[in-house]
A and B are shown apart, each in its own frame.
Chain A
Amino acid sequence: ETGVTQTPRHLVMGMTNKKSLKCEQHLGHNAMYWYKQSAKKPLELMFVYSLEERVENNSVPSRFSPECPNSSHLFLHLHTLQPEDSALYLCASSWTSGRGNEQFFGPGTRLTVL
């Protein structure tokens, strides 16, 4: 899984904290994604960036703020989260050209909101 790395791997934060999740891809891809994986729920696509521009935001609360400074890096800034935001946050990357392109996932950040 060295193609897509995520830091930190685990994060515990209070509801008033501000933290950021980082994702880096070493595959030369030009699209990056944030997903939320909660227990017993389908994988939820949160944000999509293509060529460093946000192309999709699936009605995600504003307490989640993405940033994509270049095609290799993706951040998810977190502030005033709720306990129900506790989940595994997965980053993925792919080529944008062609909808048949598979995604490559990082190992995820396990987030716990107290």
Chain B
Amino acid sequence: AQSVAQPEDQVNVAEGNPLTVKCTYSVSGNPYLFWYVQYPNRGLQFLLKYITGDNLVKGSYGFEAEFNKSQTSFHLKKPSALVSDSALYFCAVRDNRDDKIIFGKGTRLHILP
């Protein structure tokens, strides 16, 4: 069965510092991996995805994520955090042999001015 874990409920980062939001996954086949962001009173917004190819994926708002097959991880990163990056971040995984998509429980990111 596929699963996804976001081990941190909350991450605090000072503005201007690099940020990392962690995600690990488990699938039977090859994974399709996604990151979404949710701002208050809004739905989820797609940030980036990994399907195949280059392990480093670049997405919206300066975010990027690195697919690491050996560690089954897909951590979200940004070189320099902005206060406006404060939001709830969700990692999601889909098995290439299955239509099910599983979301992590979310990580709340606080960027401190």
| A43 B43 Cβ-Cβ under 8 A | no
A53 at the interface (CB under 8 A from B): no
- Size of the B side of the interface (Cβ < 8 Å), in residues, is 24
* Contact (Cβ within 8 A) B105 A42: yes
Which chain A positions have C-beta within 8 A of B104? 42
Whether A75 is near chain B, meaning CB under 8 Å from some CB there, is: no
Answer yes or no: B45 CB below 8 A from chain A CBs: yes
Interface residues in A2-40 by Cβ distance below 8 A to B read: 4, 6, 40
- B43 contacts A102, C-beta separation under 8 Å: no
Contact residues of A between 33 and 58, Cβ < 8 Å to B: 40-43, 45, 48, 55-56
Interface size (A, Cβ < 8 Å)? 23
- Residue ID in chain B nearest A91 by CB atoms: B43
Contact of B90 among A43, A55, A99 (CB under 8 A): A43
Interface pair B32/A100, CB less than 8 Å apart:
yes
Q: Which residues of B contact A42 (CB under 8 A)?
A: 102-106
Q: How far is the CB of B54 from chain A (nearest CB, A)?
A: 14
Q: Is the C-beta of A106 less than 8 angstroms from some C-beta in chain B?
A: yes
Q: Given A90-B43, A105-B44, decide whether A48 and B99 contact each other with a Cβ distance below 8 A.
A: yes
A2 to B: closest C-beta gap in Å = 12
Residues of chain A within 8 A (CB-CB) of B105 are 40-42
Contacts of A66 in B (CB 8 A): none
Partner of A102, one of B41, B49, B106: B49
Kindly report which residue of chain A lies nearest to residue B43, judged by CB atoms.
A105
Residues of B near any A CB (own CB < 8 A): 32, 34, 36, 41-46, 49, 51, 90, 94-96, 98-106
The 9 A-B pairs with the shortest beta carbon distances in the complex, nearest first, are A105-B43, A100-B51, A43-B103, A102-B46, A105-B44, A42-B105, A100-B32, A107-B43, A106-B43
- 5 residue pairs of the A-B complex, CB under 8 angstroms, read A1-B43, A55-B99, A92-B43, A99-B99, A102-B34
